[in-house]
Amino acid sequence: MSTLSLRERIADFHAAYIRCIDQNALEQWPEFFEEQCHYTVTTAENDRAGLAAGLMWANNRNMLHDRVSALRHANIYERQSYRHILGLPFITGTTPEQVEVETPFMVVRIMHDGKTDLFVCGIYRDVFLLNHSDILKLKRRSVICDSNRIDTLLAVPL
Amino acid sequence: MSEYQPIHWSTSSYTRVPYAVYQHEDVLAQEQKKIYEGNTWSYLCLDSEIPEAGDFKTGHVGNAPVVVVRDDDGEIYAFENRCSHRGALICLDRAGKTRDFQCVYHAWTYDRQGNLKGVAFEAGLNGAGGMPENFCKEDHSPRKLRVAVFCGLVFVSFSDEVDAIEDYLGPEICARIERVLHKPVEVIGRFTQVLPNNWKLYFENVKDSYHASLLHLFFTTFKLNRLSQRGAVIVSESGGHHVSYSMVDAPDQAAGNQYQDQGLRSDQDGYRLADPSLLQGFKEFEDGITLQILSVFPGFVLQQIQNCLAIRQVLPQGVTSTDLHWTYLGYASDTPAQREVRLKQANLIGPAGFVSMEDGAVGGFVQRGIAAAGDLEAVIEMGGESTSSSPSRVTEASVRGFWKAYRQLMQA
C-alpha cells in the first residue's frame, strides 16, 4: 500500500509528465499511459457540444508511440519546446478502482529563434487507475483547450 | 490608406507571380472588393447546421461579417452583420436560434431576412425627439447577400451578377462534390488553425498536387499518396476550382524508383506504425478513389482522405494572417465502428495532422522568405503554362488556374 496520499501521487504524476514533454523526452511520454488508454486533444467548444473528434485522438498506447515517431521521423516543423505550468488538481470523483481529476494548465511555446508565446491553456480531464503502485498511470486524458484557435500547428503533444 | 498600386504581372501566362501580391494592405483591400464582394460564391456553413426556423450562424466573406439564418418559410437568408444605424455588429454570437436580431447598441431590430423592423424611440418620448417623419425603415437595411445551397453547402455572394452556383462550379466540380456529399453529414469537430501567411499561399498550397508527396512524408511512407499512384488533376474552366485525386492500385515499380534515384527525402523506408489500424479504413467509395482534394474559389476546400472527411474554409485576417476553419465530418448513417475509423483517421488532418501540419507552417516559410523580395517572382512552371486538367499530378496547372481566376477578377 502506498505511503503517499492520493494528492501527492497526482502531483508527482503531473510533475513527471510535464517534465518529460518539456525536456523533449517524448519517447518516454507514452509510458505515462496504460496500454489500453484514451488520449485526446480537443477544445472546450467541441467538448460542450459533444463533438468527438480531436486534434489528436488515440485509443491505445501504440498510437501515442506513433505520434512520437511521426514527429521524430516524418513531420516537418520548426524546432520548438514547451513550458507547461499546471494549476492545482481538483478531484472530481473517486472509486476504489479509479480517480477522476481536473487540472488546469498553460503551455508557453518557445520557438528556436527565441520567440516565446502563450500557446495553449485549458484543463486536463484525467482518469487514473488506482493499483498498488505509487506510480499512477493514465487510463484517459482529455486535453481540453479553452480556445479553438491553434497558432500555426500543434506538433508536440500537450 | 495609400493609393492602390496595381500589381505588375511580367507575363500574360500564369507562370510568374510577383511576391508583392502577398505583401500589401492595398492588395488585400482590393481583394475584398473585387474577389470576396465580386462575382464569387463564398462558403458559409452547412445547411444541416441551421436546420430549423430561427437557427443562425455568423461568419465572414473575406473580412465582411455576415449572418446566415433560416426563416419560417424554410429558406436561408444572409445579410451583412452590420447595423444600418451606426455600423455595430447586429449579432454577437457565433451560432444560435432567434426570432429576430437586435443590435445591442441602440436596440434597432431586424427580421430574419435582414430587414430593419424596429427603431427604438422612433417616435420619440413624450412627444419630443425621435426620428424624422420621413425616415423610411425599408431604405435602411444592411446589405443582403444571395444564398445558394448545393449538396448541403451554404454559399453566399454579395454579387447580383455571379453565375448560379452550379454554373459557377461547373459540371466536373459539381460531380466531385456530389460524390462526397451524396448523403447527410454530421459535424464531428471544429477547429481553427491560425496560419502565419497570406491567404493565397494557403489556397495555392491546397491546389498544389506537386508538393503533397514531397513535403508530407507521412503520406508517402505509407503509400497513401505518391505521384506514382494513379490519379489526375481537374481544373475548372474558370481556373478557380480544382480537384486532385488518386487511387491506390498495383504498385508502379519504375515510377516508385524515381524517388530513390533522385534521393528524395520522401522515400525513407524504415518507418512503420506501431498501430497500423490508423490506415485500415473501410471502403465506402465505389470508384476506389482514396484521396480527393477539391477547392472552390476563393476559399472553400472539401477533402476526402480515405474515410476522413472535412471542410476547410480559408479566411484572410490581414495581409500575413489567415484563419483556416476546419469542420470534420461523418455521415449521419455511420455505424459506431465507422465513426471510430473517422475519429482515428482525423489524426491525419488539422493543425496536428500527420499529413497536414506542414501546410500550417510552409506558407509562413514563404511569407518570411519573400520579405525582401517584393519585386521578384515565384516560378510556377511545372507542367508548362497550361491551366487545364491533367492526367499527371506532377503539374502546377491548378495553381496557375487560381491565378487565372484571380487576375480576371482583380483586373475587372
CB contact under 8 A, B193 and A150: yes
Among chain A residues, the shortest Cα distance to B342 is held by: A53
Q: Torsion angle, CA of B148/B149/B155/B157, rounded to 10 degrees?
A: 0
Q: Mind listing the pLDDT tens digit for each residue in B9-23?
A: 999 999 999 999 999
Cβ-based contacts of B347 with chain A (< 8 Å): 56-58, 63, 67
- In this complex, the residue of A51, A63, A154 whose CB is nearest that of residue B351 is A154
> If 0-12 CB within 10 Å is exposed, 13-18 middle and 19+ buried, where does residue A34 land?
middle
CB contact under 8 A, B357 and A148: no
CB contact under 8 A, B194 and A149: yes
Distance CA B84, CA B292 (A): 43
- pTM score of the predicted model: 0.94
Q: Which of B410, B391, B281, B262 is nearest to B347 (CA)?
A: B281
CB contact under 8 A, B189 and A52: yes
Helices B397-410 and B199-207: angle between axes, nearest 10 degrees: 140
**With left for phi above 0 and alpha for psi between -120 and 50, is residue B236 left, alpha or beta?**
beta
Hey, what amino acid is at B126? N
Hey, what amino acid is at B206? V
**Distance (Å) of CA B107 to CA B104, B110, B120, B194:** 5, 10, 6, 34
Q: Contact at 8 Å (CB) between A143 and A41?
A: yes
Strand pairing class (A137-145; A33-43): parallel
Q: What are phi and psi of B394, to 5 degrees?
A: -85, 65
Distance CA B396, CA B403 (A): 11
Lowest average pLDDT, out of B53-62, B89-98, B140-149, B244-253, goes to B244-253
pLDDT at B31: 98
Distance to chain B for A53, nearest Cα, Å: 5
pLDDT at B251: 47
Distance to chain B for A132, nearest Cα, Å: 29
Peptide bond into B18 cis (omega under 30): no
Complex ipTM: 0.96
**Distance (Å) of CA A27 to CA A64, A71, B89, B210, B403:** 9, 10, 49, 33, 44
Q: Mind listing the pLDDT tens digit for each residue in B222-271?
A: 655 555 578 899 999 999 999 999 887 544 444 445 555 555 555 555 67
Q: Which chain B residues in 216-275 lie under 8 Å from chain A, judged by CB atoms?
A: 217-218, 221, 268, 270-271, 273-275
- In this complex, is the C-beta atom of B190 within 8 Å of any C-beta atom belonging to chain A? yes
Which grid cell sits at A137?
498511470
pLDDT at A4: 85
Confidence check: pLDDT of B2 > 60? no
Radius of gyration of chain B (CA): 23
Instruction: Encode chain A (158 residues) as per-residue pLDDT tens digits.
Output: 567 899 999 999 999 999 999 999 999 999 999 999 999 999 999 999 999 999 999 999 999 999 999 999 889 999 999 999 999 999 999 999 999 999 999 999 999 999 999 999 999 999 999 987 778 999 999 999 999 999 999 999 99
Q: Ranked by mean pLDDT, which of B166-175, B215-224, B282-291 comes out on top? A: B166-175
Hey, what amino acid is at A38? H
